[in-house]
Structure 1
Amino acid sequence: MPFSGASTSTTLLHSHVTDAVKAPSFIRLSGNVVLARSETLKIYAALGAVRALLKAGTVRPGDTLVDSSSGIYALALAMVCHRYGLRCHIVASTTVTPTIRAQLEILGATVDQMPPERDLRLDQHRRVARVQELLRVNPGMHWMRQYHDPVHYRGYREMAELVRQALPDAPLAVVASVGTGASSAGLIQPLREHDPATPLIGVQPFGSVSFGSERFQDPEAIIAGIGSAIPFDNVRHELYDRVHWMSFRHAMAGTVALMRAHAVFAGLSTGAAYLTALWEARRRPERTHLLVGADTGHRYVEQVFARHREAPDPGTLEPVEIGSLDELTPPWSTMRWARRGHPSPSAVVVGSRRPGPSAGRPAGRG
C-alpha cells in the first residue's frame, strides 16, 4: 500500500538548468501557511530581464552584463548568461561565499570581490562605485541595475501563475523579504489582478534604509538579501500593507525553527519571513499566507545553523506593534504600512495617508 502522503508528478525534460531550478516547490506548513521554496528565486528576475533585453536588442549574444550582488542574483545572472551566450561580470559583496564564487568562476563570470568589511553600508557603496568605474572604462558593458530597473519584475509573472495554479481558490496574503523589491512587486501585481485586496507583508532588518530603520545597527546582521544600505528604486513602497523589522537573532530563531518543525533548510531571509508569517497567520486566519523562500541555507551554515542551540524559542517571540517610524524598537517591530509611499520624512504615522510615487516612475541611476 502506498504511503498516504505520497504524491505523483510529471517528469519534465529541461533544455537548461535555469528551467529546472526556477520553479518553486509549494509546501503546506500549516492550515493557512504555505511555503514557496526556491533553490534560487532570482532566476526569475535574471531570466525575465535578460529575455526582455535580448528581445529589445538592448543586448546581444557576446555582450557583457555587469552588476553588483551579495551572491544569489550573481549566480542567477551567471547561469542566465551561460544559457544565452552572454559574458558576465560580477562586483561581489564581501559576503559572497567561496562556494558561490567558485560556481561563478566555473560559469565563466569575472568576479570583483570587495575586501572583508564589517560595515555592509560601506560594502554596498563600494560595489556601486566599482560598477561605475567599470562602465567608464568599458562603455559597451550593460549594467543590469537589479536594484533599480523594473525589467526585473517581469519574470515573476510566471511565478504568480504557478501560485494561482497551486492555490486556485485561496484568498492569499504574501509574506516576503523586501530586498531589492523586485520579487515583491513582480509577484504581487499579477496576483492583485485577480484579488486587489491581496495583502503584501514585507520583512526588513534593522539598519535598512528601505523602510526607514537606518538609524539602527545590528552588529550580527548578515541578511544581505533582505535589506539595503542605499535606496533601491525597485522597492515600491506603495505596494506594501504591513512591514516587519527584525533582528538577526529573531531571524535566526525563525530559520532554525523552520528546519526543526518542517525539515526545510532555507536561508536567513526565509527564516525571518517564516516567523512573520506565523504571527500574521494567527491574526488573519481567513487568508492563506504565502511565504516566499528565496534560497537554501547553504551560505548560512556557520553563522546560523551551526549555532542552532543559541536560537531563541520562536514561541516566546512577539513583535511590538508601532504607529510611526519614530517608535521603531528592536528586536522586532511591526507597523501597518497601508500602501503608503516612501518613508520620508521618517515619522510616517498610521492614519496619515501619503501619496506614493506613480507606478511608472523611472528607474534610478544607482
Structure 2
Amino acid sequence: MRHDDITEAIGNTPLVRIDPAVHGLANIDLYAKLELLNPFGSVKDRAAWGMARPLLAGARPGDTVVELSSGNTAKALALLAGMHGLPFKSVTNRMRVPEVKELLLLLGAEIDELPGRSECLDPADTDDPLTRMHRQLALEQTGYLHTDQYFNQRNVDAHAHGTGPEIVKDLDGRAPDWFVACVGTAGSSTGVARVLRQHNPEVEVVGLVAAKGDFVPGIRTIDEAHEVGLFDPGVYDRLETVTAEEAIDGLLTLVRRCGILTGPTGGGAFAGALRRLRAVDGSLTSRKTAVFIVCDRIESYLSYVRDRRPEIFGRPPRRNTTRTLTDAELTAAPEMSVEAAQRRLGGTDTLVVDLRNPYAYQALHLAGSINIVDEVFADLLHAGLPFSRRRPILLVCPVGEKSARYAALLHRMGHPDVHSLAGGIIAWRDAGAELVRD
C-alpha cells in the first residue's frame, strides 16, 4: 500500500475480534476498533486532520496552529503543522502526563500552561483565563489558526464520515447492537453513534465518563463533559462511570491477553463494555455484536500506570494513597462550609493548603494559603503526615472533590483536625469571599 502523504494513512483502522476466552461472554461477539493504529497513534488523528485541513489550506507565513489540548489532539496537530512549515501551540492547564509533555516538546510544540478550572471553556465564566484565551483567539488578524476541538463540528464529522462507516463496512453492512466509547471531546462517540443509528436504530450507545475525583487520561468526568460544546447527553442511551483502576485492569488484559498495546482510555472502554455486556449476556437468546474504541497507545502512559501499579515494575506498593480509601471513608470525609471556614480562618492558625496548579493559584487564592500541587501533595503523604497534628489544616481544590479525598486520607492517617473546603475555590468565590492574586 503506497501513499504520497502520511495523512492518506489516517483512518481505515482494523476492527479486531476479542477472543471469547478473554471476555467470557457467551452470546456477544466483542470487537475493538483499533484507532491506536492511526499514523500519529490515536483516534484524534482523524479529527485533527479534519479540523486543520481547511485552515492549513489558507495558512500564511507566520501563522500558528493553536489548540486547547494536553494530549493526542495536540500531538496530531503539532505533526500536521510541522508538515506545513508552521509552529504549533498547545494551550492547557491539564498537562498531567510527563511523557505527553516531553513528546510535544520533541515535536517542536510550544506549551502554554494557563490557570483555569478546567481545560474546556465555560463561555459564561468571564474570569476563567482559558475563556479569555478563547476570546483572544477569536479576534481577527491574530495569526492563530484555532482548530477549536471542543466546539468544531468537523470533529464530529471526521467520525461520521470515517470511523462509523468503517465499523459498518467491517461488520458486513450491519451496525453493532452495542457501541461503547469514552467521552473526551465527544467527537468520536457522537459521530459514530449518528452513523450506527442510521443502520440500526436499536443500537445501544454507552458513553463512559471518569469517576468524580478520578483521573483517567482522555476521559472526562460528567461535570467536565458538560463543559464541552460538542457533548450532548441525548446521544447516549447510557452514561456510566469508569475508574482509573478499572481502566488499568482493562489495559492490562488487552495488552497481555490480546496483544493490543492500548492506553488507559482503551482499557477503560474495554472494562466499561464488559461491565455492561455481562449484565445482559445471560438473558440473550440470539447472537449479538458489540464494538468499543481503542483510542491510543500505552507508551505515553507508563508513568501513569507505574504510579498506580508500582508492583508491575518491581517497586513496592505506595503507602498512604487516596486510591485505597473506602466508600465509607469518602462519604465521611471531613468538610467545612465557606462560612465556617471564614470563621475558622479569622481566629486560628489554620494552615490552608491549595492543591491547584501553580498558574491557577497565582491568579486567585485564599489569603495566607500555600500552594502544593495535588500530585506533589500525594508524594508527601506517601512518607507520612507532613504536618503537625496540633495544627488545623484546610485543604482547597477547584470544586472540593480532590481536597475531600485528601482530607479523608489525612483523617485515616491520624490528623485530628483536617477539613476540605466544601465546594472548593468556586464556592468560596461564589460566596463573595476574599481572594487575592500574586
Aligned letter for 2:259? A
Distance 2:71 2:133 in 1: 16
TM-score, structure 1 length as denominator? Answer: 0.67
Question: Residues 161, 86 of structure 1: CA spacing in aligned structure 2 closer, same or farther, 3 A cutoff?
Answer: farther
Any conservation in 2 of the 1:69–1:92 contact (CA below 8 Å)? yes
Distance 2:209 2:196 in 1: 22
1:41 aligns with 2:43: yes
Higher relative contact order (CA 8 A, sep 6+): 1
1:20 aligns with 2:20: no
**Runs of at least 4 residues off by over 6 Å:** none
Query: 1:246 maps to which residue?
Result: 242
Any conservation in 1 of the 2:242–2:272 contact (CA below 8 Å)? no
1:193 aligns with 2:193: no
Query: 1:322 maps to which residue?
Result: none
Aligned CA RMSD, in angstroms, stands at: 3.1
TM-score, structure 2 length as denominator? Answer: 0.57
- Indicate the larger mover: 13-22 or 33-42: 13-22
Deviation at 1:126, TM superposition (A): 4.9
Deviation at 1:193, TM superposition (A): 2.1
Deviation at 1:279, TM superposition (A): 2.6
Question: Residues 300, 108 of structure 1: CA spacing in aligned structure 2 closer, same or farther, 3 A cutoff?
Answer: closer
- Per-residue CA deviations over 1:326-364 (Å, capped at 9, x if unaligned) read xxxx9xxxxxxxxxxxxxxxxxxxxxxxxxxxxxxxxxx
Any conservation in 1 of the 2:48–2:73 contact (CA below 8 Å)? yes
- Indicate the larger mover: 235-244 or 225-234: 225-234
Deviation at 1:92, TM superposition (A): 3.5
* DSSP 3-state at the match of 2:9: helix
Question: Residues 95, 149 of structure 1: CA spacing in aligned structure 2 closer, same or farther, 3 A cutoff?
Answer: same
Deviation at 1:113, TM superposition (A): 3.3
Query: 2:263 maps to which residue?
Result: 267
- Indicate the larger mover: 300-309 or 180-189: 300-309
Query: 2:172 maps to which residue?
Result: 168
Q: Pick one of 144, 147, 153 that aligns with 2:147.
A: 144
Question: Residues 303, 110 of structure 1: CA spacing in aligned structure 2 closer, same or farther, 3 A cutoff?
Answer: closer
Any conservation in 1 of the 2:255–2:262 contact (CA below 8 Å)? yes
Question: Residues 80, 287 of structure 1: CA spacing in aligned structure 2 closer, same or farther, 3 A cutoff?
Answer: farther
Distance 2:65 2:298 in 1: 27
Question: Residues 47, 123 of structure 1: CA spacing in aligned structure 2 closer, same or farther, 3 A cutoff?
Answer: closer
Distance 1:295 1:258 in 2: 12
Deviation at 1:53, TM superposition (A): 4.7
Write out aligned runs for 1:115-126 (5 A).
Answer: 121-122=117-118, 126=129
Any conservation in 1 of the 2:209–2:219 contact (CA below 8 Å)? no
Distance 1:169 1:102 in 2: 42
Question: Residues 128, 296 of structure 1: CA spacing in aligned structure 2 closer, same or farther, 3 A cutoff?
Answer: farther
Unmatched tracts of structure 2, length 5 or more: 21-28, 121-127, 313-329, 331-438
Question: Residues 243, 95 of structure 1: CA spacing in aligned structure 2 closer, same or farther, 3 A cutoff?
Answer: same
Aligned letter for 2:4? S
* DSSP 3-state at the match of 1:243: strand
Query: 2:78 maps to which residue?
Result: 78
Q: Pick one of 216, 224, 227 that aligns with 1:231.
A: 227
Distance 2:242 2:101 in 1: 28
Deviation at 1:18, TM superposition (A): 3.3
Any conservation in 1 of the 2:68–2:119 contact (CA below 8 Å)? no
Aligned letter for 2:42? T
Any conservation in 2 of the 1:71–1:93 contact (CA below 8 Å)? no
Aligned letter for 1:193? Q
Deviation at 1:223, TM superposition (A): 2.8
Point out the structure with the larger helix share: 2
Write out aligned runs for 1:308-323 (5 A).
Answer: 308=309
* DSSP 3-state at the match of 1:193: helix
Q: Percent identity?
A: 25
Question: Residues 306, 107 of structure 1: CA spacing in aligned structure 2 closer, same or farther, 3 A cutoff?
Answer: closer
Unmatched tracts of structure 1, length 5 or more: 1-11, 208-216, 312-329, 331-366
Query: 1:316 maps to which residue?
Result: none
Query: 1:294 maps to which residue?
Result: 295
